[in-house]
Amino acid sequence: MAALTQAAVGAEAPAARPRRRGGLVPFLLLAPALLWLVVFFVVPTISLASQSLQTGDIDNGYTLTWHFATYADAMSRYWPQFLRSIIYAASATLGTLLLGYPLAWFIAHRAGRWKNLLLVLVVAPFFTNFLIRTLAWQIILTDNGPVTGFFRATGLTNVLQAIGLTDNNSLLGSQFAVTCGLIYNFLPFMVLPLYTILERLDTRLLDAAGDLYADGWNTFWKVIWPLSLPGVVSGTLLTFIPAAGDYINSKLLGNTQTVMIGQVIDAQFLRVLDYPIAAALSFILMAAIIILVAGYVRAAGTEELV
Amino acid sequence: MAWLRRNLVVIIGLLVMAYIMVPNLVVTIFSFNKPNGRYNYEWNQFSLDAWLNPCSSAGMCEALGLSLWVAVAASLAATVMGTMAAFALGRYRFKGRSATNLLVFFPMATPEVVMGSSLLTLFIAMGIPSGQLTILIAHILFTVSFVITTVKARVASLDPALEQAAADLYANPTQAFWKVTFPLVAPGIAAGALLAFALSFDDYIVTNFNAGASTVTFPMYVWGAAQRGTPVQINVVGTVMFFGALAIVGIGQLIGARLRVGSRRKEAL
Amino acid sequence: MATTTKATPGDLKLVALTRHFDDFVAVDGIDLVVPGGSFFALLGPSGCGKTTTLRMVAGLEEPTSGQIMLGEQDITGTRAYQRNVNTVFQSYALFPHLSVLDNVGFGLRQRKVADWRTRANEALELVKLADRAKQRPRQLSGGMQQRVALARAIVNQPDVLLLDEPLGALDLKLRREMQIELKRIQQEVGITFIHVTHDQEEAMTMADTVAVMRTGRIEQLGAPSELYDRPATAYVANFLGQSNLLPLELRGAATAGLVTASARGVQVVVDAGQLPADAGAGLQLGIRPEKLRLLGPGSDGVANRLNGWVTDASFTGVATTYLVKMAWGQELTVTQSNDGSARAGLGDEVTVGWDPHQAFVLPAGAD
Amino acid sequence: MATTTKATPGDLKLVALTRHFDDFVAVDGIDLVVPGGSFFALLGPSGCGKTTTLRMVAGLEEPTSGQIMLGEQDITGTRAYQRNVNTVFQSYALFPHLSVLDNVGFGLRQRKVADWRTRANEALELVKLADRAKQRPRQLSGGMQQRVALARAIVNQPDVLLLDEPLGALDLKLRREMQIELKRIQQEVGITFIHVTHDQEEAMTMADTVAVMRTGRIEQLGAPSELYDRPATAYVANFLGQSNLLPLELRGAATAGLVTASARGVQVVVDAGQLPADAGAGLQLGIRPEKLRLLGPGSDGVANRLNGWVTDASFTGVATTYLVKMAWGQELTVTQSNDGSARAGLGDEVTVGWDPHQAFVLPAGAD
Amino acid sequence: GSPGRNPSGSASASSSPVAAPDKSDTDMLVNWSNWPEYIDVDDNGNHPSIQAFTKKTGIKVNYNEDYNDNDEFFAKVRPLLEAGQDTGRDTWVSTDWMVARLIRLGYVQKLDYANIPNSSNLEPSLKDASFDPGRPYSLPWQIGFVGIAYNPKATGGRKVTSVDQLLHDPTLKGRVTMLTEMRDTVGLVLIEQGVDLGQVTADQFTAALKVVQDAKDAGQLKGFTGNEYTKPLASGDTAACVAWTGDVVQLRADNPSLGYSLGEKGIPMFSDNFVIPNLAQHKKNAEKLIDYYYDPAVMAEVTDYVNYIPPVAGAKEILLKKDPGVANNELIFPSQEVLAKAQTFRGLTAEEETSFNRQFQAVVTG
Ligand SMILES: Nc1ncnc2c1ncn2[C@@H]1O[C@H](COP(=O)(O)OP(=O)(O)OP(=O)(O)O)[C@@H](O)[C@H]1O
Ligand SMILES: Nc1ncnc2c1ncn2[C@@H]1O[C@H](COP(=O)(O)OP(=O)(O)OP(=O)(O)O)[C@@H](O)[C@H]1O
Ligand SMILES: [Mg+2]
Ligand SMILES: [Mg+2]
Q: Is C328 in the pocket of ligand 1 (CB under 6 A)?
A: no
Could you tell me if B266 lies within 8 Å of chain A, comparing CB atoms?
no
**Is position A277 within any domain?**
yes
> Mean pLDDT of all residues in chain B?
82
Residue range of the domain that includes B164: 57-230
**Distance from C-alpha of C157 to C-alpha of B154, rounded to nearest angstrom:** 45
**Spatial CB neighbours of B92, under 8 Å, sequence gap ≥ 6:** A18, A20, A21, A22, A25, A26
Query: Quick check: A14 pLDDT over 70?
Result: no
D106-111, long-range: CB within 8 Å, 24+ apart, which pairs?
A: D106/B166, D106/B169, D106/B171, D106/B179, D106/D152, D107/B169, D107/B170, D107/D152, D107/D153, D107/D155, D107/D156, D108/D155, D108/D156, D110/B169, D110/B170, D110/B171, D110/B175, D110/D81, D111/B170, D111/D156
**Is position A61 within any domain?**
no
Check residue A12 and give its pLDDT: 34
**Distance from C-alpha of C158 to C-alpha of C193, rounded to nearest angstrom:** 10
3-class DSSP state for residue D259?
strand
Q: Calculate the CA E236 to chain-centre distance.
A: 25
Could you tell me if D289 lies within 8 Å of chain B, comparing CB atoms?
no
Q: Please tell me the distance between residue D47's alpha carbon and the centre of ligand 2 in angstroms.
A: 5
Q: Calculate the CA E91 to chain-centre distance.
A: 15
Of A108-117, C345-354, E226-235, least confident by mean pLDDT is A108-117
Of all protein residues, the one whose alpha carbon is nearest to atom 5 of ligand 1 is C21
CATH number at residue A85: 1.10.3720.10
Same domain, B1 and B103: no
Query: Quick check: B157 pLDDT over 70?
Result: no
Secondary structure of chain C as H, E, C letters: CCCCCCCCCCCEEEEEEEEEECCEEEEEEEEEEECCCCEEEEECCCCCCHHHHHHHHHCCCCCCEEEEEECCEECCCCCHHHCCEEEEECCECCCCCCCHHHHHHHHHHHCCCCCHHHHHHHHHHHCCCHHHCCCCHHHCCHHHHHHHHHHHHHCCCCCEEEEECCCCCCCHHHHHHHHHHHHHHHHHHCCEEEEEECCHHHHHHHCCEEEEEECCEEEEEECHHHHHHCCCCHHHHHHCCCCEEEEEEECCCCECCEEEEEECCEEEEEEHHHCCCCCCCCEEEEECHHHCEECCCCCCCCCEEEEEEEEEEEECCCEEEEEEEECCCCEEEEEEECCCCCCCCCCCEEEEEECHHHCEEEECCCC
Same domain, B92 and B117: yes
DSSP lists the bridge partners of residue D260 as D269
Amino acid at C253: A
CB–CB of E66 and B213 under 8 A?
Answer: yes
The residue-averaged pLDDT of C9-13 equals: 84
Query: Quick check: D137 pLDDT over 90?
Result: no
DSSP codes, D137-202:
GGGS-HHHHHHHHHHHHHTT--SEEEEESTTTTS-HHHHHHHHHHHHHHHHHH--EEEEEES-HHH
CATH number at residue B131: 1.10.3720.10
Beta strands C39-43 and C209-214 are parallel
Helix (H) or strand (E) holding A64, with range, is strand A61-64
Same domain, B206 and B253: no
CB–CB of A227 and C96 under 8 A?
Answer: yes
Query: Quick check: E2 pLDDT over 50?
Result: no
> Mean pLDDT of all residues in chain A?
81
Helix (H) or strand (E) holding D255, with range, is strand D244-255
Residues 130-159 of B with CB under 8 A from A: 137-138, 140-141, 144, 146, 148-150, 153-154, 156-157, 159
Angle at E78 between CA E75 and CA E84, to 5 degrees: 160
Same domain, B129 and B91: yes
Nearest to A218 among C79, C87, C110 (CB): C110
The residue-averaged pLDDT of E215-240 equals: 88
**Distance from C-alpha of E150 to C-alpha of A150, rounded to nearest angstrom:** 26
Evaluate whether chains D and C are touching (3 or more beta carbon pairs less than 8 Å apart).
Answer: yes
The residue-averaged pLDDT of E190-217 equals: 93
C89: left (phi over 0), alpha (psi -120 to 50) or beta: beta
Query: Quick check: D267 pLDDT over 70?
Result: yes
Check if the beta carbon of residue B153 is closer than 8 Å to that of residue A2.
Answer: no
**Distance from C-alpha of C159 to C-alpha of C192, rounded to nearest angstrom:** 7
Same domain, B79 and B207: yes
- pLDDT-derived band at E6 (thresholds 50, 70, 90) equals very low
Query: Quick check: A16 pLDDT over 60?
Result: no
Check residue D8 and give its pLDDT: 54
Residue E85 dihedral angles phi and psi, to the nearest 5°: -115, 155
**Distance from C-alpha of D242 to C-alpha of B133, rounded to nearest angstrom:** 75
Q: In this complex, which chains have at least 3 CB pairs below 8 Å with chain B? A: A, D, E
Of all protein residues, the one whose alpha carbon is nearest to atom 4 of ligand 1 is C21
**Distance from C-alpha of D211 to C-alpha of D32, rounded to nearest angstrom:** 9
Q: Ligand 1 pocket: which of C18, C20, C46, C48 to mutate (most atoms <8 Å of CB)?
A: C48
pLDDT digits (tens, 9 = 90+) for D189-202: 888 999 998 778 88
Q: Calculate the CA D97 to chain-centre distance.
A: 34
Same domain, B29 and B162: no
- pLDDT-derived band at A305 (thresholds 50, 70, 90) equals very low
DSSP letter at E21 equals P
Query: Quick check: E170 pLDDT over 80?
Result: yes
Check residue B126 and give its pLDDT: 82
Query: Quick check: C153 pLDDT over 50?
Result: yes
Structural domains of chain D in order of their starting residue, each with its CATH number: 2-234 (3.40.50.300), 242-363 (2.40.50.140)
Position in ligand 2 atom list of the atom nearest CA D54 = 18
Could you tell me if E84 lies within 8 Å of chain B, comparing CB atoms?
no
Taking the CA atoms of residue E251, residue E253, residue E255 and residue E261 in that order, the dihedral angle to the nearest 10 degrees is 60
**Distance from C-alpha of D281 to C-alpha of E192, rounded to nearest angstrom:** 114
Same domain, B217 and B265: no
Q: What percentage of chain A reaches a pLDDT higher than 70?
A: 91
Residue C246 dihedral angles phi and psi, to the nearest 5°: -125, 140
pLDDT digits (tens, 9 = 90+) for D274-331: 777 665 668 889 999 888 888 877 677 778 889 999 988 887 777 888 999 998 888 8
3-class DSSP state for residue D74?
strand
Find the radius of gyration of the CA atoms of chain E.
21
Check residue D173 and give its pLDDT: 64
**Is position A113 within any domain?**
yes
Query: Quick check: C257 pLDDT over 60?
Result: yes
**Distance from C-alpha of E132 to C-alpha of E135, rounded to nearest angstrom:** 5
Nearest to E176 by CA among E115, E125, E102, E240: E240
> Greater confidence, B18 or D175?
B18
**Distance from C-alpha of C98 to C-alpha of A221, rounded to nearest angstrom:** 13
Q: In this complex, which chains have at least 3 CB pairs below 8 Å with chain D? A: B, C
Check residue B14 and give its pLDDT: 92
**Is position A186 within any domain?**
yes
The residue-averaged pLDDT of B99-110 equals: 81
- pLDDT-derived band at E330 (thresholds 50, 70, 90) equals confident
**What size, in residues, is chain E?**
366
Same domain, B64 and B22: no
Nearest to C47 by CA among D169, A202, D141: D141
Query: Which of the listed ranges A240-244, B169-173, D35-39, E15-19 does the model predict with the highest average pLDDT?
Result: D35-39
**Is position A3 within any domain?**
no
**Spatial CB neighbours of C158, under 8 Å, sequence gap ≥ 6:** C84, C85, C86, C191
Nearest to B108 by CA among A78, A7, A13, A37: A37
**Is position A196 within any domain?**
yes
Nearest to C147 by CA among C193, C189, C178, C105: C178
Check residue A13 and give its pLDDT: 33
Structural domains in chain A (count): 1
Distance from CA of E43 to the nearest CA of B (A): 7
Check if the beta carbon of residue D22 is closer than 8 Å to that of residue D143.
Answer: no
Query: Quick check: A193 pLDDT over 80?
Result: no
Same domain, B22 and B127: no
**Distance from C-alpha of D224 to C-alpha of D238, rounded to nearest angstrom:** 14
Check residue B258 and give its pLDDT: 62
- pLDDT-derived band at B128 (thresholds 50, 70, 90) equals confident
With a threshold of 0.80, does the pTM exceed it?
no
Of A36-50, C181-195, C335-349, least confident by mean pLDDT is C335-349
Q: Calculate the CA C12 to chain-centre distance.
A: 19
**Is position A37 within any domain?**
no
Taking the CA atoms of residue D125, residue D128, residue D131 and residue D135 in that order, the dihedral angle to the nearest 10 degrees is -100
Check residue B89 and give its pLDDT: 86
Check if the beta carbon of residue E62 is closer than 8 Å to that of residue E89.
Answer: no
Same domain, B22 and B115: no
Nearest to E359 by CA among A75, A268, A118: A268
**Spatial CB neighbours of E11, under 8 Å, sequence gap ≥ 6:** E18, E106, E108, E109, E110, E278
Nearest to B230 among A44, A48, A135 (CB): A135
When scoring B227, B232, B233 by the number of chain E Cβ atoms within 10 A, the one with the most, hence best to mutate, is: B227
pLDDT digits (tens, 9 = 90+) for A113-143: 787 788 878 877 777 888 888 888 888 888 8
Cα dihedral sign, A263-A265-A270-A272 = positive
Q: Residue E243's CB: how many other CB atoms inside 10 A?
A: 27
pLDDT digits (tens, 9 = 90+) for C162-189: 998 887 666 666 677 778 888 888 888 8
Same domain, B193 and B137: yes
Check if the beta carbon of residue A214 is closer than 8 Å to that of residue A206.
Answer: no
**Distance from C-alpha of A89 to C-alpha of A246, rounded to nearest angstrom:** 9
Distance from CA of D113 to the nearest CA of B (A): 12
Check residue E16 and give its pLDDT: 53
Query: Quick check: D233 pLDDT over 70?
Result: yes
CB–CB of A212 and C79 under 8 A?
Answer: no
When scoring B159, B163, B170, B269 by the number of chain D Cβ atoms within 10 A, the one with the most, hence best to mutate, is: B170
Q: Please tell me the distance between residue C216's alpha carbon and the centre of ligand 3 in angstroms.
A: 12
Amino acid at E145: F
Among the bound ligands, name the one nearest to the CA of residue C142. Answer: 2
When scoring D106, D148, D162 by the number of chain B Cβ atoms within 10 A, the one with the most, hence best to mutate, is: D106
DSSP codes, B132-197:
HHHHHHHHHHHHHHHHHHHHHHHHHTS-HHHHHHHHHTT--HHHHIIIIIHHHHHHHHHHHHHHHH
**Distance from C-alpha of C335 to C-alpha of C244, rounded to nearest angstrom:** 11
pLDDT digits (tens, 9 = 90+) for D139-172: 777 778 888 998 999 899 898 999 988 876 666 6
The residue-averaged pLDDT of C309-325 equals: 84
The residue-averaged pLDDT of D84-100 equals: 88
Residue range of the domain that includes A75: 71-117+175-304
Structural domains in chain B (count): 2
Taking the CA atoms of residue D96, residue D100, residue D103 and residue D105 in that order, the dihedral angle to the nearest 10 degrees is -160
